[in-house]
Structure 1
Amino acid sequence: MSKDVTPLYVADVSAFTKQLRRSLAGQDALPGHAAMMGLVAKAAGFQNHQHLRNTAAKAPPTLDELALKRALRVFDENGKMFRWPKWTKVQGLCLWPFWARMPAHQDLSEKEVNAVLKDGLAFDDHVLLRRSLIDHKLAERTIDGRIYRRIEQRPTPEALALMRRLKER
């Protein structure tokens, strides 16, 4: 027996139970476990139980709305960061818009990185952001600190949502 949990969301419980009752009405005895799972899946609008499982596995990840809300609070209406957040998780999230401003696959001098960071800041501590980009593995630098490069990676769902909401402002 499978121990995998398959979530099921039913928008209309009334329609779901009516369909399930119709499916069970034509049966002489109660169906077995597998047949019952198939009937439940069909009543919920899926082709069969396998279709339900595959759809549930592809469900989009839920966003950490609290972290996103806290991150949005440190940006003004123009999308500039006006203060540094106190929570480490939110700090990492707030660095993604700066990561996105750095050109991909390109070496940058410290001056060029500072210019990118200062453009998105409403307070005067671009050095904090530059160090944080390195600490959060969003950028790398040479040992002598002369060359910086953005680390190419896929932004988290929260980072994408943050950048989208900042753009909408």
Structure 2
Amino acid sequence: MTRKPLPLQVDDLSHFSRALSRQLGEASPSHLTLMNMLARAAGFQNLQHQRAIQAAARRLTKTTMAPAADHRLIERTLGHFDDQGRLLRWPSKRAVQTLALFGLWSVFPADRALQEAQVNALLIGEHRFRDPATLRRTMISCGLLTRQRDGSDYRRIEQEPTAEAKALISRLAARRKQRTQAEAQITRR
């Protein structure tokens, strides 16, 4: 019979060490010796090694800690896309709309001007409900696209997508890749 590991998390090693020392009674080693023993049992060389590793982890976590993605929102938004990465319907919730627009934003070329007809063609290829004007206007109002006053020279506004947008773009890219591969196979026949 195999044993299942039982995780143990100790918030304060000193407090844990003192409680263990009280239970060991007279046979207990000194407080520092016991703390070093516990650190070695946890896989560290000694207590100082454990402190150094944990301090470095805290410093790295502070600088690179990204906000957690709202997976429920991503899931809801993905429900508005088909298996090929095309937007099926216009979402009713504003948060889902904005996230879905980031999925469309990702297919626009960076640092390249497009005419309105090119933008419409790109959007028509990426959605099923045949309303590129709504998508185009909403992308402009959300700050994802910019255009000249005369309606020409559309450009994607470069920005760092949110954690949810990154996750959505990644999943849609995989679906679009499958779509491209399927279309390539049909063309070869």
Coarse TM-score class (shorter-chain normalised) = 0.7 to 0.9
RMSD, matched Cα: 2.8
Q: Which runs of 5+ in 2 are unaligned?
A: 1-5, 22-28, 33-46, 176-189
Aligned length: 144
Matched with 2:68 is: 62
Query: What code does the residue aligned with 1:54 have?
Result: R
2:133 equivalent to 1:127: yes
Tell me what 1:47 maps to.
Answer: 52
- Secondary structure of 1:90's counterpart equals helix
Q: Normalising by structure 2, report the TM-score.
A: 0.66
Change in CA separation of 1:54 and 1:104 when aligned onto 2, cut-off 3 Å: same
Q: Which residue of 1 aligns with 2:31?
A: 27
For the residue of structure 2 that corresponds to 1:147, the secondary structure is coil
Pick the structure with more helix per residue. Answer: 2
- CA shift digits 1:22-41 (9 cap, x unpaired): 5876338xxxxxxxxxxxxx
What amino acid is the match of 1:50? A
* Aligned residues with identical type, % of pairs: 34
Please, which moves more after superposition, 100-109 or 50-59? 50-59
TM-score, reference length from structure 1: 0.73
**Counterpart for residue 155 of structure 1:** 161
5+ residue gaps, structure 1, are 1-10, 29-41
Mapped pair 1:101 → 2:107: yes
Among 147, 163, 170, the alignment partner of 1:141 is 147
Report the residue type matching 1:47 in the other structure: A
TM-superposition CA deviations, 1:84-108 (whole Å, max 9, x none): 1111111111011221111111111
Q: Following superposition, which runs of at least 4 residues in structure 1 exceed 4 angstroms of deviation? A: 22-25
Q: Is the 8 A contact 1:98 1:116 kept in 2?
A: no
> Larger radius of gyration, structure 1 or 2?
2
> 1:64–1:46: structure 2 CA closer, same or farther, 3 Å change rule?
farther
Relative to 1, partners in 2 of residues 1:26 and 1:155: Cα closer, same or farther, differing over 3 Å? same
Q: How far off its partner does 1:62 sit?
A: 0.6
Q: Which one-letter code corresponds to 1:109 in the other structure?
A: Q
User: Is contact 2:17–2:31 with CA below 8 Å preserved after alignment?
Assistant: no
TM-superposed deviation, 1:76:
0.6
Structure 1 counterpart SS, 2:155: strand
> Does the 8 Å CA contact 1:138/1:151 hold for their aligned counterparts?
yes
Question: What residue number does 1:38 align with?
Answer: none
